[in-house]
Amino acid sequence: MTGVEHYLSIFTKAVFIENIVLAYFLGLCSFLAISKKIDASVGIGLAVIVVLTITAPINWFLWEFLLDKGALVWISQDFKDTDLGFLKLIVFISVIAAMVQLVEMFMERFSQSLYNSLGIFLPLIAVNCSILGGSLFMVEREYTISETVVYGFGSGVGFFLAIVALASIRYRIRYSNIPPRLRGVGMAMLLTGLLSMAFMAFSGIDL
Amino acid sequence: MELFNSESKKIVSDPINVNNPISLQVLGICSALAVTIRLDQAIIMTLAVVFVLCSSNVILSLIRNYIPTRVRIVIMLSVIASLVSVVDELLKAYLYDMSKQLSVFVGLIITNCIIMGRAEAFALKHGPSKAFLDGLGNSMGYGLIIIIVSFFRELFGAGTITLPDGGAGYVLWRIPESWYAAGYENIGLLVLSPGAFIILGLVIWIQREFAGVEEDA
């Protein structure tokens, strides 16, 4: 498999087959809390796409040129045994927190309308596990830089798709007669289970 | 302050039962599901969360008067991230197989909302001993739920019960061959992700019946 086809398969995998919410359980906190409203879900979905697509490549560069074993050889050969891998969690989470802040300031300056629609959701994203999870998976699977960009974007799209789907289903069942103690989170979990079952059908696709 | 008066007992027992972080406060679900395929993974994950939550609560509570309000999130994140790195390295050193199985989910304890949530809601407002008890209670509440979920997923999904040991896990009990011969089948769906969502949904329902909590919408 070469070229475009390879990247398409990474993208499809990230969106459907290994959906970051429905298969890896990442980002569930905001997924459950925000999916009560459809427009809010669209907002946070877009914000996740933007932040994931930006942070995953940045963390890739940091991992490749700073943290990985032997990554510092571009400074001097003396560092070829240095392994700063244990710092990855702290570095990644700081990059994510800083990037979220930057994206927020950038949007405020250049795209007022987008800022108004995403505004309150951006800060929440810093503690969304799907962002940190994206960076950690990128390291674990040893992606190259272009694969990382495609993977980050694909995971964001996967999150967007899942949260908008769940929000629409929750909207449809507003007036259903659900047992009182099951209402809210309990029902949302069962619905997510069904949604995840539906997405499992994609795993039949051979890539 | 006495450690064992009724108020401290309440701080520990409330989050296990009527104010459970997962089923009632709805925090920390992200990592709760990923590690519930096998019981031993859930137990190790619980221990990791107990350690991180208790220590982060105590540390943040000790320095709470020196933290400027505006930068508290960054400080909380760096304290939590350092503690999680310690756990990650310890697991890699002493329980290598387990750390491979848990893969990225140990690192994701950082973004576990329970830890940030308890730091923000409790540790920054109370003294260290109370913060420790709160951390203990909440992490045990978390552990209780993931251990229940993983018990059912492993028993009905894979037909075994595994306890943690130094290596790949010690199989405590396995459904006997004679049951399979008599027509019993494992429910393969429970091992996959949908099973986790559905079982957790049912556990939340049952716990809310006992705790008597309702949510509108």
Taking an 8 Å cut-off on Cβ atoms, the answer to whether A140 and B103 are in contact is yes
pLDDT score for A160? 93
Q: Between B82, B111, B204, which is nearest A127 by CB? A: B111
Q: Which of residues 2-61 of A touch B (CB under 8 A)?
A: 22-29, 32-33, 36
Q: How far is B217 from chain A (nearest CA, A)?
A: 6
Which of the 8 DSSP states describes residue B192?
S
Q: How far is A15 from chain B (nearest CA, A)?
A: 16
Are the CB atoms for B159 and B33 separated by under 8 Å? no
Are the CB atoms for B141 and B13 separated by under 8 Å? no
Query: What integer best gives the mean pLDDT of chain A?
Result: 83
DSSP-derived secondary structure for B164-180: --SSS-EEEEE--HHHH
A23, closest residue in chain B (CA to CA): B193
Find the length of chain A: 207
Burial of B83 (0-12, 13-18, 19+ CB in 10 A): buried
Q: Between A97, A182, A188, which is nearest B77 by CB? A: A97
User: pLDDT, tens digit, for every residue of B116-139?
Assistant: 888 888 888 888 888 998 889 888
Burial of A197 (0-12, 13-18, 19+ CB in 10 A): middle
pLDDT score for A165? 92
**Contact partners, residue B185, CB within 8 Å, separation at least 6:** none
| pLDDT at position A172 over 60 | yes
Please tell me the least confidently modeled range out of A48-52, A178-182, B23-27, B73-77. Answer: B23-27
Buried b (16+ CB within 10 A) or exposed e, B140-151: bbbbbbbbbbbb
Percent of chain B at pLDDT > 90 equals 6
pLDDT score for B167? 65
Query: What integer best gives the mean pLDDT of chain B?
Result: 82
Taking an 8 Å cut-off on Cβ atoms, the answer to whether A26 and B108 are in contact is yes
The number of beta carbons lying within 10 Å of the beta carbon of residue A7 is 16
Are the CB atoms for B47 and B105 separated by under 8 Å? no
Q: What is the mean pLDDT of residues B34-62?
A: 89
Q: How far is B126 from chain A (nearest CA, A)?
A: 23
- Cα separation of B202 and A187, whole Å? 9
Percent of chain B at pLDDT > 70 equals 94
**Contact partners, residue A165, CB within 8 Å, separation at least 6:** A195
Tokens 């894979």 correspond to what residue?
A: B158
Give the dihedral sign, CA B110/B111/B114/B116.
Answer: positive
pLDDT score for A117? 67
Longest Cα separation, chain B: 66
pLDDT score for B184? 82
- Cα separation of A151 and A13, whole Å? 9
- Which segments of chain B does DSSP mark as H helices, in order? 6-16, 29-34, 39-62, 72-94, 96-102, 113-118, 128-157, 177-181, 193-211
Percent of chain A at pLDDT > 70 equals 93
| pLDDT at position A207 over 80 | no
Taking an 8 Å cut-off on Cβ atoms, the answer to whether B198 and A174 are in contact is no
| Side-chain-side CA neighbours of residue A146 (13 Å) | 5
**B213 and chain A in contact, CB less than 8 A:** yes
The number of beta carbons lying within 10 Å of the beta carbon of residue B202 is 17
pLDDT score for A82? 74
User: pLDDT, tens digit, for every residue of A98-123?
Assistant: 888 787 787 778 777 777 766 666 77
User: pLDDT, tens digit, for every residue of A43-93?
Assistant: 888 888 888 898 999 999 888 888 887 777 777 777 777 777 788 888 888
Please tell me the least confidently modeled range out of B52-66, B79-93, B99-113. Answer: B99-113
Q: How far is A78 from chain B (nearest CA, A)?
A: 24
| pLDDT at position B3 over 60 | no
Domain ranges for chain B: 8-211
pLDDT score for B160? 83
Predicted complex: ipTM over 0.90? no
- H/E element holding A88? helix A88-110
* Cα B84 to chain centroid, rounded: 14
A69 three-class SS: coil
Single-letter residue type at A194? L
Are the CB atoms for A105 and A118 separated by under 8 Å? no
| pLDDT at position A187 over 90 | no
Taking an 8 Å cut-off on Cβ atoms, the answer to whether B26 and A29 are in contact is yes
- Cα separation of A91 and B109, whole Å? 15
Q: How confident is the model at residue A151 (pLDDT cuts 50, 70, 90)?
A: very high
Taking an 8 Å cut-off on Cβ atoms, the answer to whether A200 and B193 are in contact is yes
Q: How far is A68 from chain B (nearest CA, A)?
A: 15
pLDDT score for A162? 92
Dihedral (C-alpha) B117, B120, B125, B126: value to the nearest 10 degrees?
40
Q: Which of residues 71-90 of A touch B (CB under 8 A)?
A: 86-90
pLDDT score for B1? 47
